[in-house]
Amino acid sequence: MDAIDVIRTKRDGRALSAEQIAWVVDAYTRGEVADEQMSALAMAILLRGMERGEIGRWTDAMIRSGSRMDWSGLDRPTTDKHSTGGVGDKITLPLAPLVAACGAYVPQLSGRGLGHTGGTLDKLESIPGWRASLSNDEMLAVLREAGAVVCAAGDGLAPADKKLYALRDVTGTVESIPLIASSIMSKKIAEGTGALVLDVKVGSGAFMKDTTMARELARTMVDLGTDHGVATVALLTAMDRPLGLAVGNALEVAESVEVLAGGGPSDVVELTVRLAREMLAAAGVSGKDPETALKDGSAMDSWRRMIRAQGGDPGAPLPVAAETVEVAAPASGVLSRLDAYAVGLAAWRLGAGRARKEDAVSAGAGVTLHAKPGDTVQEGRPLLTLHADDPGRFPRALEALEGAYEVGTQADPTLLPLVIDRVTA
């Protein structure tokens, strides 16, 4: 095989063969294909696209570049959820123990935040003592003890994706749907779960800004999961405004605990329950209903077991930022709009997120919302509270929020419904 021939094939709009895909992914992982050659191929894929069979073969080659986990020895079905990311998206935190309380195992490999979107591991690491890095044996032990585990992926899982993702990030090829879908699904399939529910976010605070592109990504990923023997379904959900009332690591943990205690914001509760039902149905589990598990305390019990099993103290006080600044409502009326991206950007500038993977994050930094679009607000009353350890961060965060909210007589009629669509095999 020759890298130039592979590049030319896709450059000229032809489908890559199974042999070409298997060779180029393996050779790139081993360092035989240079970064500049894989960059050219990634750009050709972005411009020319891929057929369903090609994407499946590409995903399979990424999976084969590393190990694949096996949960077949467990006595209950496994099911997992993946979100494409957003602002205030803390759903994994209450969802994993909730599904465990209803009768399925949840082995969830999660990531860290980058830019304006938060990372599940960053949020959980605000809990004193909690550990993100677990061996496969430790994952299995936590699953058996708590029914759910949320941790970082090991280096042996789809290493080709890790290398290719870093390259796409600096070559303008992140937006390719075949490459996005294969990146997500190679890791999720290698994770070994029996069923998978995808939460594909749509709106200003999401990677996918419009419903058409989000639906195409969802369809591609559902097809990949189905073709690899994983029962897969996707929901398209709104990210044109923040999810819940808390944006930031410890702030989102606190809100998640509220949900597990039977309270919390209605949109977070609604989406958590909807995704839990989808996960249980995909896994073929028909035990306790998620709403019941939130009300009777069993979901909270699962949460406490999961946190303790990973070294955390579920009863310990969460970090609190040293400084706060309030943003007041500019007028009385109805909050008609609150832009998700702007709030996420403000939280990032306050220290809740990172610009580079190696950057540290502030556990207590973030933004608290006092109203959501459609709520009545009063002039001069708090609309947002900004939290930061370094007061020097407030000016740029406030700058990010300029023009991000409007007060009128009604909610913006173009706001997306919380659940926009459902995509199945």
Residues annotated as part of the active site: 82, 161, 168, 183, 187
Report the C-alpha gap between 158 and 177 in whole angstroms: 18
Longest dimension (CA), the chain: 68
| DSSP assigned state of 78 | B
**For residue 225, with 0-12 CB atoms within 10 Å meaning exposed, 13-18 middle and 19 or more buried, which class applies?**
buried
Q: Are 195 and 279 in contact (CB under 8 A)?
A: yes
**For residue 409, with 0-12 CB atoms within 10 Å meaning exposed, 13-18 middle and 19 or more buried, which class applies?**
exposed
Closest among 347, 336, 262, 260 to 305, alpha carbons compared: 260
Report the C-alpha gap between 328 and 405 in whole angstroms: 11
Cβ neighbours of 122 (radius 10 Å): 25
Q: Strand pairing of 366-369 and 382-388?
A: antiparallel
Q: Which two tokens stand for residue 412?
A: 């913006």
Q: Are 70 and 39 in contact (CB under 8 A)?
A: no
Task: Go through the chain and tell me how many residues it has.
Answer: 425
Report the C-alpha gap between 209 and 84 in whole angstroms: 12
In 195-297, which ranges are continuous DSSP H helix?
211-227, 249-260, 266-283, 290-295
Exposure string for 82-96, b = 16+ CB within 10 A, e = fewer: bbbbbbbbbbbbbbb
Q: Which two tokens stand for residue 419?
A: 């659940």
Closest among 193, 215, 83, 210 to 143, alpha carbons compared: 193
3-state secondary structure at position 68: coil
Report the C-alpha gap between 78 and 71 in whole angstroms: 8
**Beta partners for 236?**
200, 421
